[in-house]
Structure 1
Amino acid sequence: MWLLFQDQAGGAVARVAFQAGRTLKESFRLGQLEAVVRMLEEHECDFVDALGRDLHKPRFETVVSELILIKNEALHAISNLKKWMQPQHVERNLSTTLDECLVVSEPLGVVFIMGTWCSPVQMCLVPLVGAIAAGNCAIISPSECTAHTAELLHRLVPFYLDNECFHVILAGTNDLPEVVELKFDHVFFTGNREEGSKIAQAAAHTLTPVTLILGGKNPCYVDQHCEIATTAQRIAWARFHNAGQSFVAPDYILCHTDIKARLVQALKCCLMQFYGSDPRESRSFGRMVNLELFNRTRDLLWRSGKVAVGGQVVEAEKYIAPTILTEVEEQDPIMQQDVFGPVLPVLTVNNTDEAIAFINKQEKPLCVYAYSSNSKVISKLMSETSSGSFCSNDSVLQSLMVALPFGGVGASGMGSYHGRHSFDTFSHRKSCLLRSTRFECVTYLRYPPYEDRNLENVGKCMRCVLIEEPCSQ
């Protein structure tokens, strides 16, 4: 109850600030975006420490995949904000030849942003950059699973951003549907499908639009024609980064039968190079966020396939070794659920068509990855599968680029963000037709009483308007 009161109060303050026009000016938006950059730069060590406590996240991963990514988004918005805010002129037709037709981007109002635990800073602040750029007020709810990071955001944001327009609340997952029902102008949610469904249902009660970035089983096809050593490095980095706790990591490999043994061996070598003979001692390998996720991932691991490398677990440390599974069947538990942990199943297929058929039997994923030196294979995978995003001969990078929209489709979500696409997500594109009262000689023909001669005169009058000659009608 206290949480709902706290959020309602913050939302009411933000609503008053928005209605007063606090966020409309370009100078205000630029100042808030610059403050986000300043916060990240001045408290880099604090963010590194918080994520280290929550996820045992290496400093390198925190700086590169969280802080730099957010700063790039903010700096990109700062550089392009004036252009984004300008009305866009659209093509006119015969009836609007002398009018001005515009699309004006106006802010939605007060938006609610819910981050997730696997990228707890990025998933809160990248959408926030778009909300600020578009001129909105925002309520931010970091994940309760990463408590140290959530507390840090709760403490820092009031020192850098406008206290009336932007608020951080510490809400539990079970509280979020009730918070959403307090009525916002947009809800941006990142999380799993079950939670996303609850959020969407709660938002529907007040007809609130939503953006949902949801998890899914991201397939990775490895063709027989590819550079295996490089392929293995890029897949291993993407899967085991952040101890496998990622919405965009390859979830499983569909490997051509002819190269399975070589690919598995190359993956083993990569794990040795990345984390040494005992990844538990490596400063470059993280831990599971909590015991619930640890237990779930461990159980899926133990009940599926055969361990080719890894498999060790230490409950007291929430540690699961980076693990490759072979002899995995489609019916195995690990293929039936989303996996947010350092486990990579390897399945085999005989050709590209078989891989495409396998992918298309499943729900539409957030990402599809394909590795091949044959451009026709890449083109075939891209055109014959449906997913939120697609990347060839690498992984994850398509989800980090400012210029590319990122989001899901079908079961993996709706809507998108990053760069201009974030600005558009948090804006209403208002159609505006600006015209004068001149040339009533044309418009009067639309008025009743209707007569057949009116239809004949429409064309004549339009010609008069186009050549700017006096009308005889």
Structure 2
Amino acid sequence: MLHFLASIASSLSTLPVTGISVPLAYRKKQLKQLYNLVTENEALLFAALRKDLRKHEVESIGGEIAPVAEECLWFLENLDELAKDEKVSPRVILNRLGGSALIRKEPLGVVLIIVGAIAAGNTAIIKPSEVSAHTAAAITALLPNYLDPRCYRTVNGAVTETTRLLELHFNHIFYTGSPEIGKVVMSAAAKHLTSVTLELGGKSPAIVSSDVDMQVVANRIAFGKFYNAGQVCIAPDYVLIERKQLPEFVKAFKTTMQNFYRGHPETDEGYARIVSERHWDRLHNILANKTSGHVVIGGESNKSDLYIAPTVVADVDNDDPSLMGDELFGPILPVVCVDNLDEAIDIVNSRAPPLVLYLFSKSRKTAEKVLTKTQSGGVLVNDTLMHQAEYALPFGGTGRSGQGSYHGKKSFEAFTHERSVMIKKLGMDGLLASRYPPYSAKKAGLIRSVTMSSPMGIWIRNHSKTLKVIALMLVLFILNRRR
């Protein structure tokens, strides 16, 4: 298996050089095929996700099918514009003489992941998670039937295979997962000076201000938190709310749970399961080892069914090592009470910047204050999850929550090398003679004048429209005087 991994990477590495994956017509064909793979096999993919997570079709459409299909269609519509050379106007006068400048959009080479990689003209190795075994098997079986196996291959396996895969030389690695594994990926990439895009999650807070419709807030936080049983990298990880609002919040949340799951999430087909026993044990231990707070909703669990109930823990201390240590990535929602918005902001800033920050408020002033005083990969005001589904917006983290961004144009850029190209003519060399030795004070003055802007020149460019109007008025004034 390990020799097989090396042979795959070696064979794929030569393809960008031969140019198989570079022509736009080829890329578009592969994107159409990927779209067909998803849309023609929805039932199979739904079944795989159901087996792995007991995930409902509604969540599978929104979380898996629609994002891939939408991105394929968007790239098919916009690829010509994205991939064309970008003309650049030289700033240096000497470079404007008898020459031109442009930026070519070229593939990086062999990368780990897909869609944006295809659009950018790369070859790719896809490594599905071994935890979602049925989904990985479906992808492995379907991919060679739709995409060119010379350029796109699937590799399965666990720690041993992943470790060996990371030892190979790629031109870019795209990884979604935990910060701990992100460090491993980044360390492996550094050995080859390989660029990375890392989407690493984190403890994403939901700040609730005092001016909200609490039932709407409860509905939207519950939607984001319990979607796929909380196994979403951008799920609200904990709530920050003023202490006086806690009773109203809990009451509204109980109403939401009744409306969502009819009081019985353990039998409701819309509520997913934990992906593996290992992750079930981790979440069960988080609840068992909490050092603060009390469960006000849920708390029930069943290991044989990989079930953990939608759970809300109120009055949690910010320094609780179990509930407030690492990202929960499951259906447990700690609620931390604060005295005011400033304290909530201080708590957010005491941690590493999260992948997303959620804020619920009717006040633009409050939103601006939170935006100005905090850092996060993204921000969503008065809802959860939906910013990730808007592919016109770049999606990514910052610091511990990740680096780089993707979606739409940003996905194309993530897998593209912008190659700077300048083309000069061989004529008019006399105009460039001032740069050649022997040097002199006169040549130094000429070089200074053509390579360095002056504050006055910048001021004139910035006020050119006003100066043109003034000049026109002066001309008209002079003409009128002559009459």
TM-score scaled by length of structure 2: 0.90
- Mean Cα deviation higher: 295-304 or 66-75: 295-304
- Say whether the 8 Å CA contact 1:220–1:252 is kept in structure 2: yes
1:271-290 map, 5 Å: 271-290=257-276
Residue 235 of structure 1 corresponds to 221
Aligned to 1:45, the other structure's residue is in SS state: helix
The 4+ residue runs of structure 1 with deviation greater than 3 A are 456-462
Aligned to 1:441, the other structure's residue is in SS state: helix
- Mean Cα deviation higher: 193-202 or 98-107: 98-107
Q: Does 1:5 align with 2:6?
A: no
Structure 1 residue 104 displacement after superposition? 1.1
Aligned to 1:139, the other structure's residue is in SS state: strand
CA RMSD of aligned residues (A): 1.4
Residue 371 of structure 1 corresponds to 360
**AA paired with 1:78?**
L
Aligned to 1:397, the other structure's residue is in SS state: coil
- Say whether the 8 Å CA contact 1:224–1:258 is kept in structure 2: no
- Mean Cα deviation higher: 172-181 or 305-314: 172-181
1:248 to 216, 234, 253: 234
1:87 to 85, 96, 99: 85
2:246 to 247, 260, 279: 260
- Say whether the 8 Å CA contact 1:18–1:165 is kept in structure 2: no
Aligned to 1:416, the other structure's residue is in SS state: coil
Higher gyration radius (CA): 2
1:36-51 map, 5 Å: 36-51=34-49
**AA paired with 1:390?**
V
Structure 1 residue 90 displacement after superposition? 2.1
Residue 121 of structure 1 corresponds to none
- Say whether the 8 Å CA contact 2:318–2:347 is kept in structure 1: no
Distance of aligned partners of 1:435 and 1:41 in 2 relative to their CA distance in 1, 3 Å threshold: same
Structure 1 residue 245 displacement after superposition? 0.5
1:400 to 379, 389, 402: 389
Residue 204 of structure 1 corresponds to 190
1:67 to 62, 65, 72: 65
Q: Distance in 2 between matches of 1:453 and 1:385?
A: 53
Q: Distance in 1 between matches of 2:9 and 2:306?
A: 37
Q: Distance in 2 between matches of 1:215 and 1:299?
A: 21
Residue 358 of structure 1 corresponds to 347
Distance of aligned partners of 1:214 and 1:455 in 2 relative to their CA distance in 1, 3 Å threshold: same
Q: Distance in 2 between matches of 1:382 and 1:6?
A: 49
Q: Distance in 2 between matches of 1:165 and 1:26?
A: 15
Q: Distance in 2 between matches of 1:415 and 1:287?
A: 31
**AA paired with 1:436?**
K
Residue 111 of structure 1 corresponds to 111
Residue 125 of structure 1 corresponds to none
- Say whether the 8 Å CA contact 2:94–2:450 is kept in structure 1: no
Q: Distance in 2 between matches of 1:382 and 1:30?
A: 39
- Say whether the 8 Å CA contact 1:92–1:101 is kept in structure 2: yes
**AA paired with 2:413?**
D
2:135 to 126, 129, 149: 149
Aligned to 2:50, the other structure's residue is in SS state: helix
Residue 308 of structure 2 corresponds to 320
2:432 to 440, 443, 464: 443
Structure 1 residue 456 displacement after superposition? 4.0
Q: Distance in 2 between matches of 1:403 and 1:461?
A: 40
Q: Deviations over 1:98-133 (max 9, x none)?
A: 3212111100011013xxxxxxxxxxxxxx110000
Q: Does 1:339 align with 2:310?
A: no
Distance of aligned partners of 1:437 and 1:310 in 2 relative to their CA distance in 1, 3 Å threshold: same
**AA paired with 2:109?**
G
- Say whether the 8 Å CA contact 2:16–2:107 is kept in structure 1: no
Q: Distance in 2 between matches of 1:262 and 1:461?
A: 68
1:35 to 33, 36, 49: 33
Unaligned runs of 5+ in 2: 452-483
Aligned to 1:38, the other structure's residue is in SS state: helix
Residue 101 of structure 2 corresponds to 101
Q: Distance in 2 between matches of 1:399 and 1:163?
A: 30
**AA paired with 1:97?**
R
Residue 297 of structure 2 corresponds to 309
Residue 461 of structure 2 corresponds to none
Q: Does 1:430 align with 2:412?
A: no
1:290-301 map, 5 Å: 290-301=276-287
Q: Distance in 2 between matches of 1:370 and 1:26?
A: 42
Q: Distance in 1 between matches of 2:153 and 2:28?
A: 18
Q: Deviations over 1:295-340 (max 9, x none)?
A: 1111111232211010000010010000111021112211012101
**AA paired with 2:429?**
E
Distance of aligned partners of 1:132 and 1:461 in 2 relative to their CA distance in 1, 3 Å threshold: closer
Unaligned runs of 5+ in 1: 114-127, 463-473
Distance of aligned partners of 1:357 and 1:455 in 2 relative to their CA distance in 1, 3 Å threshold: same
Aligned to 2:379, the other structure's residue is in SS state: strand
Structure 1 residue 230 displacement after superposition? 1.1
Q: Deviations over 1:22-80 (max 9, x none)?
A: 01111000000000110111100000000000001011111121101111111111110
Q: Does 1:188 align with 2:174?
A: yes
Aligned to 1:406, the other structure's residue is in SS state: coil
Q: Distance in 2 between matches of 1:187 and 1:217?
A: 24
> How many residues are matched?
446
Aligned to 2:157, the other structure's residue is in SS state: coil
Aligned to 1:400, the other structure's residue is in SS state: coil
**AA paired with 1:320?**
I
Structure 1 residue 460 displacement after superposition? 8.8
Q: Distance in 2 between matches of 1:450 and 1:182?
A: 50
Q: Distance in 2 between matches of 1:9 and 1:72?
A: 33
Identical counterparts, % of pairs = 36
